Structure 1
């Protein structure tokens, strides 16, 4: 029974990503399908969507949700306590450097990847995004696990300066790691091509689950302290979520966060409680 719930737990995450990406893609398609976008316009759009969503989602989590005591207590996923750390402040130099990296990455990605038009079919887009998150999770698992090997650890240590975590730790990487993670995350785009509406949708939702995953909260996408445990222990839990870690036996079992936003964890909690009424 528990193995069944574990499988459903991971599938729920993949489906959430695919469904929300499909919804956001429909919005971009409605806005853009009658507009002819040249290469530079697409690069600027992709870069701006990524940058604006990254900072706005991160600030909303850190300054709105975490500043509300009730919400913070209710949504906190971290179970293993760690020493509170001060996080680095934003600086003009840091923001400018980050935006230059993001713009160059957007330029290279759209230049190298073939452009395709996948339209607005709900079913085909849902299937595309479902494939996209499963493949992206696998690519991230492989690259991330390699970054924890002794000969590559130095590249990744900047990100692991924090055992405690904050949303914007998601972007706290060395340049080399940034390049590696960007390439592996976008490998499916190089192989299968990009539709600008899909790419913009993926960027927003990708920023949302990445920032949430580093926030120590379970808000909508992240249903456990999976990534918190990775930062606390520096090993295991190398994927975006636990599917590939479970498959390759590198899982540090997370504490699931039951609630209305996480129906599988809630159903498992109720089922186990009914089957073990004395616990």
Structure 2
């Protein structure tokens, strides 16, 4: 229970830090002032769903589901901290890569399109989605499954919190300059904000599906590389607020 509280605190602290940076940053602060009421509603609702409702669903309904269908397997996986962290940060990351690509197929794109209506990279838009989109994202189901199966989920939860923190950062404008050693260290393997910005680019959003690691996009030839940010972010949409929140079909 303590590690869960620590993981949630880490994610919350990351969000507060990035939001604080956005407010104090000249460009970020200007973007916030220009956000429409509809954008604030979409982003605020998405963050509430992801930050409160989804954790509650994982801790209650989904966890109870596994207790019902896998009653004798609770705590049956006895793995140490490092392997469980690798499962969370690497293996589940690969599963998410394909989950994300599936959301970009003709079958599910209409559901996922709302996330791509953000017109500026902004930590508040990290969880902008149709309200029930989370039911189609593997994290809801796979994280709860491993927490249920693992005798000690400490390493796994650390991977979850790191992934969530990186997700917030990836959607922000806190860019590491390309001429720094830190950029050289991270850019070869980690999805950076400028990488994910190109995923949100209006023209080429069918690239850079990965969450944590670039290897999956490079392996499957869906990686687009540029040290710069795209000039136009976000797709145009004729959906009204009700459609974006509940029924994204026109």
Q: How does 1:124-163 map to 2 (within 5 A)?
A: 124-163=80-119
Deviation string 1:19-39 (CA, Å, 9 cap, x unpaired) is: xxxxxxxxxxxxxxxxxxxxx
- Larger RCO, structures 1/2 (Cα 8 Å, 6+ apart): 1
CA contact (8 A) 2:76 2:151 kept: yes
Change (3 A) 1:151 1:226: same
- Describe the SS at the equivalent of 1:142: helix
TM-score normalized by the length of structure 1: 0.57
- Describe the SS at the equivalent of 1:175: coil
Q: What is the distance in 2 between the residues matched to 1:180 and 1:141? A: 13
Q: What is the distance in 1 between the residues matched to 2:94 and 2:164? A: 18
Q: How many pairs align?
A: 198
| Among candidates 195, 199, 221, match of residue 226 of structure 1 | 195
CA contact (8 A) 1:159 1:172 kept: yes
Q: How does 1:1-279 map to 2 (within 5 A)?
A: 42=1, 46=4, 48-49=5-6, 51-64=8-21, 67-68=24-25, 87-88=39-40, 95=48, 99-111=52-64, 112=66, 114-115=74-75, 124-181=80-137, 182-183=139-140, 186=143, 189=146, 193=150, 195-218=152-175, 222-223=191-192, 225-232=194-201, 233-240=204-211, 241-255=213-227
Q: What is the distance in 2 between the residues matched to 1:194 and 1:85? A: 45
CA contact (8 A) 1:218 1:224 kept: yes
Q: What is the distance in 1 between the residues matched to 2:103 and 2:18? A: 28
Q: What is the distance in 2 between the residues matched to 1:226 and 1:214? A: 10
Q: Give the drift of 1:149.
A: 0.8
Q: Rg bigger for which structure?
A: 1
Q: What is the distance in 1 between the residues matched to 2:132 and 2:46? A: 18
Change (3 A) 1:108 1:151: same
CA contact (8 A) 1:166 1:215 kept: yes
Change (3 A) 1:244 1:255: same
Change (3 A) 1:176 1:153: same
TM-score normalized by the length of structure 2: 0.63
Provide structure 1 residue ranges, at least 5 long, that are not aligned to the other structure. Answer: 1-41, 73-83, 257-279
Q: Give the drift of 1:130.
A: 2.4
Q: Give the drift of 1:197.
A: 2.3
CA contact (8 A) 1:50 1:204 kept: yes
CA RMSD, 1 decimal: 3.8
Q: What is the distance in 2 between the residues matched to 1:93 and 1:250? A: 27
Change (3 A) 1:163 1:195: farther
Q: Give the drift of 1:178.
A: 0.8
Change (3 A) 1:184 1:227: farther
